[in-house]
Structure 1
Amino acid sequence: MRRRISLILFLILGAPCFAQVSPVDAKLDKETAWTGEAIPLSITLRSPGPFSGSANFDFPKLPMTAFMTQGSPTVGSETVGDDTVMTQLYDITLYTQAEGEVVIPPFKVRFSGKKDFTSPAEDMEGMTPELRFQSKRPPGTEVMAMVVVATDMKVDQTWSQTSGASLEAGDVVSRTISRKASGTTAMMFAPVDSATMEGVRIYTDNPIVQDKSERGEQTAERTETIKYLFQNPGTYELPDVTISWWNPDKKEVDSKTLAGSTFSVKPSPVASIASDEERKEGIWILIGLIAIGMIALWFGRGWVAKEIHRL
């Protein structure tokens, strides 16, 4: 009870001096990071009394850069001189595909807090300081559209048809590829490259992209389905797909190759029937032309004979 009374007295007496305390502070945990690596950004909010509600961050729009909030803030207190203030610590994660020096300009943070335990909540705000760090592109990742930094990644695929299956023109085969990794975000996963093929129409469904948090561990998942529509008969070899990422522990590029599939495509029954009908129609047209030619030849011979007799 005495401890609570003392804290209340500290808050009441310290409130007039709060103007001298910065309501917002921020710092990066790294000065240099790999491109695509998760960069922790800590933002501390200060209030003379308890906080009310959640904070709003006006994150700057930076090229190829994303900010992600992680869970709920950690509430605590901080001694500033002879005063005690309440604090909220937000863990933000920064991801960038930009290279070189990345500058995070000051941005506004808005929140609500009380001057003491009994007063109503008031709107508060503050600006973060300018922050800078170096983003270094990992060697060997120049051909990667997006650099994913993860110590391990699970990559799997499923097919709607087994390799070697016999298909008919017009059939569709689905190929579902899933990726899962910890310590990153799903927005870092670039779409799987699906090269064009003659005689095959390729299209994709909307991917399933999600970030999960389980017992404090962040997991990123992306699942996408590629569909192959076989338009013409023939034998088709669908290509392998290689998924690559940067392993910061081994300091090298890791990859996994998903095997392609081969399919034999026959003409569809409808197409075969249509072809037979076209052949029959062509034969009758040919017979008709021959008959017309013979009739014309017969009449032509009679006309020539008459002309010769007349002479």
Structure 2
Amino acid sequence: MKTMLSCLIGLILPLLAAAQEPQAMARTSIKQQGEIWMGQKVTMVVELLAPGFFAGNASFDLPRVSGVLIVPPVGSPLVSSEESGGVSYTVQRHELMLFAQAEGEVTVPACEIRIEFKRSPLDKETVKQAVKTQQLSFKAMRPPGTSAGQTIITSTDLKMEETWKPEPGANAKLGAAFVRTLKWTASDVTGMAFPPFRPAPVQGLGIYRAEPVVEDSEERGSLHGERRDTVTYVCKAGGRFEIPPLTMTWWDPEKKELKKIVFKAHAFEVPVPPPPPVTLRVWLKRVWREHGTQLVAGAVGVLFLLLALRVFGARVTGFLKRLLPRHLPSLNP
């Protein structure tokens, strides 16, 4: 009995000691002040406090929020230290990016972050712990002049470029291809936030979309996003074609102005090739394609008639002979 009690005490005491030791914590806040617009980058600051020294990278279990694009931290965290309640903490500052795609109140629920740390630099074993962020809310406003369901990009220096290789109409002929590339670039916007380019269908042109290229780069804490969409138009028929114009809108939060980028339409003609010469083989194929059923039916009818004449020809001939007028000899010579 004493042995079992000693074992239980030996198991409980380390647990109680661990529970009394300082634990890791997380602090959460929104960096932005003032108005927040749809499509604008909102910085969510997450500070992780470890009572010791971090070992390894933090792992975020980001929540899914309808109408909000959440981008995990980019680059290395900012590391500092602070003391609270007589305990020395190492602090990692992470910045997450939020992009609201709908207007109204946005609530980001608490999420779990898994970390590892050592209480002393010379410790061989690490302490694994999961901490939770706090729930945050902010309000996103819709820029004036935009409609519900419209994708909004908010930036102060957005650029959009269009390039063609070659220009539509140059040496246009059957099978000719024109490659169109659209490139978005902007500061404080991730490439994932740019809307995909969906070309309008054009009768007689084959339209083929390549996989988009999305890239993000960070320099001195500033995010720069880029997206490239490539579409190939192939002339599959002759005639006159028009690739419609393209209009893109975006919101400048500093000037509070809705700006537009317009790319012109492209009209061109593809010569209609002359019809190929009609050969006997082509003519026979065309006749067969258009009148094949009638020809088969006629041939079957002729064969049936010839067969009937062969089988019943003698009887028919005898019957017809009996129907012919006969000259009888005179009764009174």
Percent identity of the aligned residues? 30
Distance in structure 2 (CA, Å) of the matches to 1:57 and 1:23: 14
Tell me the amino acid that sits aligned with residue 203 of structure 2.
E
8 Å CA contact 1:41–1:93 kept in 2: the answer is yes
Which is further off, 211-220 or 128-137?
211-220
2:22 match: secondary structure: helix
* 1:277 Cα deviation from its structure 2 partner: 4.9
Aligned residues: 268
Aligned pair in 2 of structure 1 residues 278, 16: CA closer, same or farther (>3 Å)?
farther
1:61 equivalent in structure 2: 64
1:81 aligns with one of 81, 85, 90: 85
* 1:165 Cα deviation from its structure 2 partner: 2.1
Aligned pair in 2 of structure 1 residues 110, 131: CA closer, same or farther (>3 Å)?
same
- 1:59-113 deviation per Cα after TM superposition (whole angstroms, max 9, x unaligned): 1111132222121111111121333211111111111213211111111111011
**Relative contact order, higher structure (CA 8 A, sep 6+):** 1
2:132 equivalent in structure 1: 127
TM-score for the superposition, normalised by structure 2: 0.73
Q: Superposition pairs for residues 156-175 of structure 1, below 5 Å?
A: 156-175=161-180
Tell me the amino acid that sits aligned with residue 32 of structure 2.
K
Q: Within the alignment, does 1:186 sit opposite 2:191 as a pair?
A: yes
Distance in structure 2 (CA, Å) of the matches to 1:195 and 1:249: 33
Distance in structure 2 (CA, Å) of the matches to 1:280 and 1:89: 77
Distance in structure 1 (CA, Å) of the matches to 2:205 and 2:238: 10
- 1:277-303 deviation per Cα after TM superposition (whole angstroms, max 9, x unaligned): 599838x97xxx9xxxxxxxxxxxxxx
Gaps of 5+ in 1: 1-14, 290-309
Which structure carries more strand by proportion?
1
8 Å CA contact 1:146–1:188 kept in 2: the answer is no
Q: Within the alignment, does 1:237 sit opposite 2:242 as a pair?
A: yes
1:23 aligns with one of 25, 45, 50: 25
Aligned pair in 2 of structure 1 residues 54, 235: CA closer, same or farther (>3 Å)?
same
Q: Within the alignment, does 1:266 sit opposite 2:278 as a pair?
A: no
1:37 equivalent in structure 2: 40
2:109 equivalent in structure 1: 105
8 Å CA contact 2:69–2:101 kept in 1: the answer is no
Aligned pair in 2 of structure 1 residues 170, 58: CA closer, same or farther (>3 Å)?
same
Q: Within the alignment, does 1:195 sit opposite 2:200 as a pair?
A: yes
Aligned pair in 2 of structure 1 residues 258, 277: CA closer, same or farther (>3 Å)?
farther
Distance in structure 2 (CA, Å) of the matches to 1:276 and 1:167: 27
Distance in structure 2 (CA, Å) of the matches to 1:215 and 1:73: 12
Distance in structure 1 (CA, Å) of the matches to 2:122 and 2:102: 47
Aligned pair in 2 of structure 1 residues 257, 143: CA closer, same or farther (>3 Å)?
farther
* 1:16 Cα deviation from its structure 2 partner: 5.5
* 1:190 Cα deviation from its structure 2 partner: 0.7
1:43 match: secondary structure: strand
1:47 equivalent in structure 2: 50
Q: Superposition pairs for residues 231-310 of structure 1, below 5 Å?
A: 231-268=236-273, 272=274, 274=276, 276-277=278-279, 281=283
Distance in structure 1 (CA, Å) of the matches to 2:193 and 2:280: 53
